[in-house]
Chain A
């Protein structure tokens, strides 16, 4: 069950943050996403220490708390995608697929000539697409 997805820009400014569980405190997700940014920074500056390849886009599990797991993805343009999930047994391939589709939706949203680069993404079409991707997350694949 995905709890929250977030897109953070190059200057660590939030571009899009959406939570998918009712009744939870939104601010808590903002806080979790913010802490994960530090982990991303660390991973990017010390590739050997943390074991991930220098130029991989998918950063893997960043930050396990008692209720949530946070996965990260860094694009070539230094935009970060974060996924907060409550599942305990998430497959790596599922998360990679999620980020691939999310990246495609993000690129389409940013290509909108009315979108101002660096400002929040306010496209309804993007929100709907993200909702659809989130719903199909973790669906069993044959």
Chain B
């Protein structure tokens, strides 16, 4: 029987719960009145983790030749290591802005929407559904601070200084916008 490689493993649910609890702690307990500050703190944690993960996942690889190679690495190997899938779509305007789109972002798949109040009227059902979706999209933004930090940390360590922001269109699809600093 083949022996395991000796690497220790952690249940994925632990990672998801820690990240959810981190958002909870920073946004509701520590800085309830300053969501921006909470977001920046979480992003800073993600930045350091991204730095360290970039070291680990580029260990065996030859060096990257340009920014595009580094971004492709993020979309493929880095995403696969962390989220077990590749990024679904990569767009660029060739002027230093890249959009990474993930149609099934792993850490957002377990967010559920409230069932809408239905009092028999179809019109109100539809509006309340779409209201729910909009509110959910806004709330889900908090859970994306950490992944933004991850991407920013990894790219900075690979020599690509940048800014990263995220948008949620409909759960669980989201996109990350990377702006390379000149």
Q: Tell whether, in the assembled complex, residue B64 and residue A76 are in contact, meaning their CB atoms are under 8 Å apart.
A: yes
Whole-angstrom CA separation of A57 from B54 in the bound complex: 15
With both chains docked as a complex, state the minimum distance between the C-beta of A7 and any C-beta of chain B, in angstroms.
12
Whole-angstrom CA separation of A113 from B63 in the bound complex: 25
Chain A interface size, as a band, is 10 to 19
Given the known inter-chain contacts A110-B52, A117-B48, please indicate yes or no for A55 contacting B58, CB distance below 8 A. Answer: no
**Chain A binding surface SS class:** loop
> Hey, which chain B residues are within 8 Å of A76, CB to CB?
54, 58-59, 61, 63-64, 158
> Hey, which chain B residues are within 8 Å of A79, CB to CB?
55
At the interface, yes or no: B65 with Cβ under 8 Å from chain A? Answer: yes
Number of A-B contacts (CB under 8 A): 46
Q: Tell whether, in the assembled complex, residue A77 and residue B54 are in contact, meaning their CB atoms are under 8 Å apart.
A: yes
> Hey, which chain A residues are within 8 Å of B56, CB to CB?
107, 111
Whole-angstrom CA separation of A53 from B65 in the bound complex: 11
> Hey, which chain B residues are within 8 Å of A103, CB to CB?
59
At the interface, yes or no: B19 with Cβ under 8 Å from chain A? Answer: no
> Hey, which chain B residues are within 8 Å of A77, CB to CB?
54-55, 58, 157-159
Q: Which 3 A-B pairs have the closest CB atoms?
A: A76-B58, A55-B62, A55-B63
Return 12 A-B CB contacts under 8 Å, by A number.
Answer: A53-B62, A56-B62, A57-B62, A75-B58, A76-B58, A76-B158, A77-B157, A77-B159, A78-B159, A104-B59, A110-B52, A117-B51
